[in-house]
Amino acid sequence: MSSQTLLGKSALVTGATSGIGEVTAYALAAAGAQVLVVGRRNDLGNAVVRTIEQSGGKAKFFAADMRSTEEINAMVECAVNEFGKLDIAFNNAGIFDRMNDFHIYSDDSWDEMLAVNLTGVFRCMRAELASMITSGGGVIINNASTVSHRGSLRASPAYVAAKHGVLGLTKQAAIQYVHQGVRVNAVSPGPTETAMSAPLVAQGADAVARALAQLNPTGKFVSPEAIAQAVVFLASDSAKMINGSEIVLDGGQLALL
């Protein structure tokens, strides 16, 4: 893929101070986009901006909490003020909690998980859509998950419900706004090599393969770089006929079902 497929475009990435979001911010910048790096920690966000700028790109950090409508709206406004318009949005920010039995799962856990992972995505999309309609179009990409399609013995009820909802929001917006120049898609990763998986990775390739073999036929983690390249592709004109869809990055995990 050309390193300049997004030249002249502007993008925002939520949850961009670490993991998938950070790597995707770098990939979008490398493809030519100006990037609004969104997260909650100023030190990490500004470090991502510096890395992009040192590579010749343009970026700005904006601090926003995905539980706040006001901060989400201000995030989109900042992108427009900084870059002239918003062309691309990757709604990636999310939190994770491990499996708790349904009958003991607390209201507080449910409310927190949905506030960030589902309601936050809705509010981001609402603000992004309004901006893109005004400017003549754009591309929204949501970070869903393989658990958008199934249950999980690892994740909580709220996490699984939220990710199902993200895929539903993706499809709903895709059919509503296609004639206004906005495409909406998702990426759905399987288990991904991020800081959360570091303890397992430290045990070596054999340990990883044993842990993942029953889920993923390759016995390997999905890399953040693979997800980032899928986002760049979906944001580019090469994907102009892809709408209301998703790219599943799971090494064949869902094919086993």
Residue of 26, 105, 159, 177 with catalytic role: 159
Output the six-digit token pair for 212.
């993942």
**Quick one: tokens of 43?**
């030190």
Residue 159 makes CB contacts below 8 A (sequence gap 6+) with 96, 97, 113, 117, 147, 152
Instruction: Please state whether beta strands 10-13 and 88-91 pair in parallel, antiparallel, or not at all (unpaired).
Output: parallel
Report the C-alpha gap between 89 and 181 in whole angstroms.
Answer: 14
User: Helix 120-135 vs helix 69-83: angle between axes, to the nearest 10 degrees?
Assistant: 30
Instruction: Please give the Cα distance from 186 to 228 (Å, whole number).
Output: 12
Using alpha carbons, list the distances in angstroms from residue 194 to 29, 92, 198, 222: 20, 14, 7, 9
**Whether 159 is catalytic:** yes
Q: Cite the active site residues.
A: 159
